[in-house]
Amino acid sequence: MIRNPDRPLRSRRSVLYVPASNKKAMAKLAALSCDAVIFDLEDAVAPGDKVAAREALRGHFSDTEATTHERIIRINPLSGEWGAEDFLAARACRPDAILLPKVNKHGDITDAEDALAETDAPNSIRLWAMIETPAGLLNSGSIAEMAGNPHSRLDCFVAGTNDLAKETGARIAPGRSVFVPWLMQIVAAARAVGIDALDGVWNDYRDSEGFASECTEAAAMGFDGKTLIHPSQIESANRAFSPSHEEIANARAIRAAFALVENRNKGVISLDGKMVERLHLDVAEKLLARHTTIGDAQ
Ligand code: COA
Ligand code: MG
């Protein structure tokens, strides 16, 4: 799939939520090595703190220069009590993206695209969507299709596992066996249109071993990264979603093998006793591009 130039490859291994009401935590973000930060105006901010959180967010964005990490603002649903005010506050901050919670249908994306167009928002302000309701899951294919429009700002799906558990009654347990079909559906819907997919959060942030194992599992599922709730989770996520030395060496070997004169016109070759097709060359090139992007971001 040819990448949309408005959607450059970005490293999104570690994406940290921070409540927009927590000024102290926001002040220390520059020192963290996460790839992206989601400033939350939604569930992490109590109803009585919404106004103060918007103010703190405006203050933070006006006080900080452009950062090495991407900055995303999660607003409340546009159709709800706080959505319109959140949207205006987020728009004024000119973040890299606005994250829409509880996206149920493709019309929710259209509404946000229209709201951004009405305020002449630059194309650099993108949209991310949380898939975290039963309707959102069932409609994830048609929601993702919105990104097929060349003018669409939709760049990324974020799995909302806590809300999915709440809405369905399914329980989150180590290994997440009951969630796997839904998580893979989110990955497939995102991949069908070439956008990114991020896994949900691990709540028990003191259990670093359990978290590391869930990161490994999420990387194997094809997710680009994991959403995080605590700075202590950043390093593990960065490690799990970076290609290993072995994967990089293997990808380089595949590239070198297909570059040999005798293999240039071949569809399939043998490398170290294994069948390697041109599709594996595509996979290798993608992995090497990802490796370069991660290096550039550090
Ligand atoms: N982003 C940035 N910094 C954070 C942070 C976060 N998400 N979570 C904690 N920190 C900072 C704290 O401010 C504290 O800094 P300090 O040492 O300068 O005081 C340090 O990391 C250690 O924090 P700790 O005491 O271990 O945690 P806590 O009890 O202060 O907070 C949570 C625990 C879960 C309340 C907090 O991590 C949090 O709010 N996480 C994000 C929740 C969220 O946004 N949820 C919505 C999406 S699911
Ligand atoms: Mg949620």
34-80 pLDDT per residue, tens: 999 999 999 999 999 999 999 999 999 999 987 889 999 999 999 99
**Per-residue burial over 224-259, b = 16 or more CB atoms within 10 Å of its CB, e = otherwise:** bbbbbbbbebbebbbebbbbeeebbebbeebeebbe
Euclidean distance between CA atoms 254 and 298, whole angstroms? 26
271-295 pLDDT per residue, tens: 999 999 999 999 999 999 999 999 8
Q: CA of 63: how far to CAs of 53, 136, 226, in Å? A: 15, 36, 28
Q: Which ligand sits closest to the CA of 21?
A: 1
Q: 252 and 180 in one domain?
A: no
122-141 pLDDT per residue, tens: 999 999 999 999 999 999 99
200-211 pLDDT per residue, tens: 999 999 999 999
Q: 154 and 197 in one domain?
A: yes
Q: 254 and 108 in one domain?
A: no
Which of 240, 257, 275 marks a domain boundary?
A: 240
More confident residue, 262 or 4: 262
Gyration radius of the chain over CA positions:
20
Q: 189 and 265 in one domain?
A: no
Q: What CATH number is associated with residue 44?
A: 3.20.20.60
- Split into its structural domains, the chain has a count of 2
Residue 298 pLDDT more than 70? no
Q: 199 and 70 in one domain?
A: yes
The pLDDT of residue 151: 92
Containing domain of residue 124, as a range? 14-240
The residue contributing the CA closest to ligand 1 atom 47 is 17
Euclidean distance between CA atoms 294 and 283, whole angstroms? 17
Residue carrying the six token digits 């069948």: 275
Q: 139 and 39 in one domain?
A: yes
Q: 154 and 90 in one domain?
A: yes
Which of 196, 221, 240 marks a domain boundary?
A: 240
Within a domain: 9: no
Residue 1 pLDDT more than 60? no
- Determine if ligand 1 sits within 6 Å of the CB of residue 229: yes
Ligand 1: which of 158, 230, 232, 234 to mutate, judged by most atoms within 8 Å of the beta carbon? 230
